[in-house]
Amino acid sequence: MKVLVTGAAGFIGGHLAGHLVARGHEVLGLDSLHPAAHPAAPRHLPRELDLRVGDVRDQRLLDELLDGVDAVFHEAAMVGLGLDVTELPAYASANTLGTATLLAAMARRGVPRLILASSVVVYGEGSYDCSEHGRVRPGARDVGDLSRGVFEPRCPRCEEALRPAPIDEDAALEPRNGYAASKVAQEHLAGVWARETGGTAVALRYHNVYGPHMPRDTPYAGVVATFRDALTAGRAPRVYEDGAQMRDFVHVYDVAAANLCALDGGAEGRLTPYNIASGEPHTVADVARALAAATGGPAPLITGAFRLGDARHIVASPARATHDLGFRPTVGFHEGMRDFIATLGPRDDDLPLGITD
């Protein structure tokens, strides 16, 4: 199969390209090599990847690249929290306009399948259970509560504290920052493309992805990389709030495998979303402690600081992806964290992509 991977030089895109090449696919890559994401040219990409440097908003280039392509994996995006409203035009241009331009080109070229890199951030706050009112979705947390160190969201009906519960793909989308809003827009645009063309669109809502070749010292670095960078510099990782925030940390090898599973998933004429998660949630403090133990570094510092755009708890089950796509996570939390630390070093960019069957 001939496929195009946008963002192919990125963290997830590079691993995905490696998996696709290993499975015998003809892989084209597109990446702008933006300096915010790539301070240095990536050296770990598979030799068989035909990588073109360019922008996903370049219609002429897309028309050339998409000729004869059977499927597109759309990984290219501007990432980060997007808390500053002055950044909204940048997110709208890179993510929303970029996706619209890609979809229009796919329609012109008759490409029938899209696998879209979406994100857990589309949900906003997660799903919760109230002891009196059952399953609820709370609103944004109160700034006064956060300032006083009261971090748990309250029931919107009785104001009592809530217990986190897995969120499913049918939950309402409630983006709470610029990046999240752009990911929701990408999903909606992909749904329109699927309905209008009869194509198949699958949205993979990645949870917290980590693993080898994770970005360092860039806006594209996640919390795992931030903790790692602190520890390798001999500093204690600084943890927001009280560290009890629940997340699902899924290894990049499993995320790449999920994309391959999605090549045969979905349904014609509509977009189908899937949570891509390990199914084993952990607290942010758990991650900091696991990395500190693996490096022999200092214990985490719980700061009590907070950011208004952050969700308190957001966990999900990959059950739908397992049932529909055959996706089964294989890398456990402690194994993944140990291996992540073990891959660090001055020649991280030269490490293999870890292609597995």
Are 107 and 225 within one domain?
A: yes
Of 91, 179, 206, 253, the catalytic one is 179
What's the pLDDT score for residue 357?
A: 27
Are 206 and 328 within one domain?
A: yes
Are 110 and 246 within one domain?
A: yes
What's the pLDDT score for residue 90?
A: 93
Q: Give the C-alpha distances (Å, rounded to integers) separating 90 from 80, 207, 263, 275, 304.
A: 12, 23, 30, 26, 31
Are 46 and 110 within one domain?
A: yes
Are 171 and 286 within one domain?
A: yes
**Dist. CA 193–CA 172, nearest whole Å:** 21
pLDDT bucket at 32, cuts 50 / 70 / 90: very high
Are 240 and 220 within one domain?
A: yes
The phi, psi pair for 119, rounded to 5°, reads -155, 155
Span 300-337, pLDDT tens digits: 999 999 988 788 999 888 999 999 999 999 999 989 98
Considering the domain boundaries, does residue 27 fall inside one? yes
Residue 32 sits in a domain whose CATH number is 3.40.50.720
The domain boundary, picked from 139, 165, 191, lies at: 165
Domain, as residue range, for 145: 128-165
Are 132 and 93 within one domain?
A: no
Are 263 and 160 within one domain?
A: no
Strands of 174-277 (E only): list them: 200-206, 208-210, 238-239, 246-247, 249-251, 270-276
Q: What is the mean pLDDT of residues 129-156?
A: 91
Provide the mean pLDDT of the chain.
90
Are 92 and 205 within one domain?
A: yes
Considering the domain boundaries, does residue 77 fall inside one? yes
Which tokens go with 300? 């985490």
The domain boundary, picked from 145, 165, 185, lies at: 165
SS3 38: coil
91 is catalytic: no
Are 202 and 71 within one domain?
A: yes
What's the pLDDT score for residue 215?
A: 73
Other CB atoms within 10 A of residue 158 CB:
12
Considering the domain boundaries, does residue 296 fall inside one? yes
Considering the domain boundaries, does residue 355 fall inside one? no
The phi, psi pair for 291, rounded to 5°, reads -70, -40
Among 141, 300, 265, 278, which residue's Cα sits nearest to residue 209? 278
Are 139 and 286 within one domain?
A: no
Considering the domain boundaries, does residue 351 fall inside one? no
The domain boundary, picked from 141, 165, 189, lies at: 165
What's the pLDDT score for residue 346?
A: 40
Task: Return the sign of the alpha-carbon dihedral for residues 132, 138, 139, 140.
Answer: positive
Are 138 and 80 within one domain?
A: no
pLDDT bucket at 40, cuts 50 / 70 / 90: low
Considering the domain boundaries, does residue 50 fall inside one? yes
Total tally of structural domains belonging to the chain? 2
